Structure formats: C-alpha cells, structure tokens
Structure 1
Amino acid sequence: MTTTLGAFVLGTPDPPALADFYRALLDWEEVDRQPRWVRLRAPERERPGLSFQWEPDHTPPTWPPRPGTQQMQAHIDIQVDDLAAETERARALGATLEDHQPQPDVRVMRDPHGHLFCLFLPGA
C-alpha cells in the first residue's frame, strides 16, 4: 500500500484571493478555480498541492498561543535562501510580520486572511 500527501487545505472566506497570495509567494500554478475552492501546485509536480476552501466564519489563531483563545491547528513552513529579502517580498504581497519571533533564522508571518506561516533558512 502506498500513501501520499495530496494537499494541504486552508479555510478562508475568500478562496480566490488567498490563492492569489500564495500563488505569487510560492510561484506555483493554479490547477482549479471555483468561487469556493482553488487548488495550486508546484510547476514541476502535481502533488502535494495547496488548496483553499470557503469557510465564511474563519477565525485566525492567536500568536503566540494563549489559553482560552483560538489555537493554531497547523501552519505552513516555507524554506527561503534570503530571509530578509523574502520577508519583505511576503510583506509586499500582503503578509504581516508577527511581533513574537521565537528563533533568529525563522520569520513568523500571517497571510492576508490571518493564517500563520513561517519563512526559514536551510538548516533551521
């Protein structure tokens, strides 16, 4: 039996808009676009992909986590070669940099809809 991760899916009130952000950030291709569902993939492979599904009541997590608040269920890690340059590029695309940064070679950021993601250097 073979199992393979097919995709990571983010809930959002606007799947096309959030897909546009990640398509630009990752330089990935769009595979499917519907008003309530969008799927992206890396240009050189079909899977795993990154998909976005409509969730009108999405609540972004609290960072850093605190008891009694919306907890982070998952986040995306993105390896980069130049942390400062890619942090600024992500900000130009609409991401925000979090105040709390737990490691010097990682940048915790939020996408335009509040999902957390990390930019990190090789070896981090």
Structure 2
Amino acid sequence: MTAQLAATVLGTPDPPALADFYRELLGWVEMSREPGWVRLRHPEHERPGLSFQLESDHVPPVWPQHPGVQQMQAHLDVQVDDLDREVERAVSLGATVESHQPQPDGVRVIRDPHGHLVCLFLPGY
C-alpha cells in the first residue's frame, strides 16, 4: 500500500464557523457537517482535504514562539496571486494580521478567526 496524506485537521471550539472561514478563503466545498466535525475539499479533488474537529479547550499558539507557552505545532501555507488583496480579503472574513512578520516581502502571517497561524505567500516564496 502507498501512503497518501488525506487531510489536515484543525482543532477548534466551533468547527462550523472555522470551516465557513476556510470555505470562503480557499473556495473549497463542504463534504460533510456533523456535530463536532466538518470536512472541506478542493472542488476538483477529493484529497487532500481540510477538516475541523471540536476541541472546546483549544488554545491558540503564541507567535513568535518562546519557551513556556503554547507552541505552534503546524501552520497552513496558502499560495495567492495578489498578496495585498488576499490579506485584505482574509481580514474581511475574520482573520487578523500578525505584528511579527519574519519576511519583509512575499509572505504575510495571519491568524484565522480561532487563532491558527496561516502564511499567505506569493509564488516563488
């Protein structure tokens, strides 16, 4: 058997709300919605998907990280064609722009509405 990455799962106190944010941000479609679980996928591809599971005690990571606090375990990288426009659109959907930006050009670190870190980046970065 060949192993394939099927999905990334984000814990959140409100799976439907966070799924709605990513559905709008990515233009993906909803495949299932159950209490405590929502699954999205690209409109033309079954996998990999992005799922959201209920974690009522979710604690967002601290950024930039430092010892003794909730560390970032993973983040999403989302390629965009127009960085300024997509940052503005993400903010209009409920994201926030991080004050700490590790690169001056081509990449913006944002947080989704529940505190997960996302890097929006231009091709080539």
| TM-score, length-scaled by structure 2 | 0.98
Residue 9 of structure 1 aligns to a residue whose secondary structure is strand
Over aligned residue pairs, what C-alpha RMSD do you find? Answer: 0.5
Q: Distance in 1 between matches of 2:119 and 2:34?
A: 27
* Deviation of 1:8 (Å): 0.1
Q: Distance in 2 between matches of 1:112 and 1:78?
A: 16
Counterpart position of 1:72: 72
> Residues 21-100 of structure 1: matches in 2 within 5 Å?
21-100=21-100
Q: Distance in 2 between matches of 1:68 and 1:2?
A: 39
* Deviation of 1:85 (Å): 0.3
Counterpart position of 2:114: 113
Q: After TM superposition, what 4+ stretches of structure 1 lie above 6 angstroms from structure 2?
A: none
| TM-score, length-scaled by structure 1 | 0.99
Q: Distance in 1 between matches of 2:113 and 2:90?
A: 10
Q: Distance in 2 between matches of 1:80 and 1:60?
A: 24
For structure 1, the 5+ residue unaligned runs are: none
Counterpart position of 1:123: 124
Aligned residues between the structures = 124
